[in-house]
């Protein structure tokens, strides 16, 4: 990675990732003309500034800089507090796996995964139970970073429990990034807020995904599986836009003078299409379940 590019990223102007340095100390440093990691490396400890704190900052900045240059995920996760991981989004933007799972229910104890969709920024990869689900662990291990919506609480613990898989990646959870911006609500509500169309999938939700899987298992008709995959894929494709949007709003909120990410609405087309007849049948047959 080019050194000049690293300098554009928000982490470069922040010191609060160093243990013992808070917002007040960071503000003091900026008043003393220490605005960036580059200033720490080039300059001496300012007069009247505690030498021990300066030493901690110098060590922290050098370690973080090394880890960012090599994208050393384990070193970065130990250095940078979780609340500041979002500042690394531009560092990983071309290496993120956007993922979402569908299951037979909410409890990992009594339910199991039916499908997993992973969008790599150019293509969606689907993993289906009783077909290729066992290929997921090897596939996801190639990515240094993942993005989910509420995955820290739902998707990842579910996958860990069912597949025994450990995730070592940097994890950007769009749900919690939006909460920082006081934007709350489920994925579908947030997509509406940002005017993201779901192309014929508006009426579906997690529960109808369960019904689609059950119908597919019973009938073995591809149209049920393909509608479920269309729904699953739509979630991960839209995650990219939501991650970029959240990042841009966060840098504006925190008044960080770094370039925003380019917003690409629907960069790719969903490889599966929702079958209107299937959706009608699922919704019509189960209207009583929504009351």
Partner DNA sequence: GACGAAGTTATCTAACGGAC
Partner DNA sequence: GTCCGTTAGATAACTTCGTC
Q: Interface with DNA by CB under 7 A: which residues?
A: 19-26, 48-50, 52-53, 82-83, 100-107, 149-150, 152-154, 157, 173, 175-176, 179-180, 184-188, 205-207, 209-210, 235
Query: Smaller CB distance to DNA: residue 125 or 188?
Result: 188
Query: Smaller CB distance to DNA: residue 101 or 140?
Result: 101
Q: How far is Cα 243 from Cα 171, in angstroms, rounded to an integer?
A: 12
Query: Smaller CB distance to DNA: residue 144 or 206?
Result: 206
Shortest spacing between CB 49 and DNA, in angstroms: 7
Q: List the structure tokens of 241.
A: 């836009």
Shortest spacing between CB 46 and DNA, in angstroms: 11
Shortest spacing between CB 20 and DNA, in angstroms: 5
Shortest spacing between CB 235 and DNA, in angstroms: 7
Q: List the Cα angle 11/118/214 in 5-degree steps.
A: 140
Query: Smaller CB distance to DNA: residue 65 or 228?
Result: 228
Query: Smaller CB distance to DNA: residue 3 or 181?
Result: 181
Shortest spacing between CB 84 and DNA, in angstroms: 10
Shortest spacing between CB 43 and DNA, in angstroms: 17
Q: Which residues contact 173 (CB under 8 A, 6 or more apart)?
A: 147, 148, 149, 150, 151, 152
Query: Smaller CB distance to DNA: residue 120 or 155?
Result: 155
């Amino acid at each position: 990675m080019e050194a000049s590019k690293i300098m554009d990223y928000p982490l470069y102007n922040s010191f609060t990732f160093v243990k013992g340095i808070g917002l007040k100390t960071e503000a003091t440093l900026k008043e003393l003309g220490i605005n960036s990691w580059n200033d720490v490396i080039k300059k001496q400890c300012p007069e009247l500034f505690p030498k021990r704190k300066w030493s901690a900052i110098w060590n922290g900045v050098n370690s973080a800089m090394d880890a960012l240059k090599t994208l050393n995920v384990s070193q970065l996760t130990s250095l940078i507090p979780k609340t500041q991981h979002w500042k690394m989004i531009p560092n990983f933007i071309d290496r993120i796996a956007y993922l979402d799972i569908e299951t037979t229910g909410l409890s990992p104890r009594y339910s199991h995964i039916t499908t997993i969709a992973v969008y790599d920024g150019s293509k969606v990869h689907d993993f289906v139970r009783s077909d290729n689900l066992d290929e997921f662990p090897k596939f996801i291990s190639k990515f240094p970073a993942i993005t989910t919506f509420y995955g820290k609480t739902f998707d990842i613990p579910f996958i860990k429990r069912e597949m025994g898989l450990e995730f070592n990646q940097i994890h950007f959870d769009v749900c919690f990034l939006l909460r920082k911006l006081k934007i709350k609500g489920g994925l579908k509500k947030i997509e509406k807020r940002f005017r993201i169309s779901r192309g014929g999938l508006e009426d579906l939700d997690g529960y109808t995904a369960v019904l689609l899987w059950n119908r597919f298992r019973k009938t073995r008709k591809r149209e049920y599986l393909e509608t479920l995959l269309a729904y699953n894929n739509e979630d991960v494709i839209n995650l990219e836009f939501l991650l970029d949007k959240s990042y841009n709003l966060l840098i504006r909120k925190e008044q960080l003078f770094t370039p925003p990410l380019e917003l690409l609405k629907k960069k790719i087309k969903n490889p599966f299409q929702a079958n209107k007849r299937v959706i009608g049948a699922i919704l019509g047959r189960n209207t009583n379940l929504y009351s």
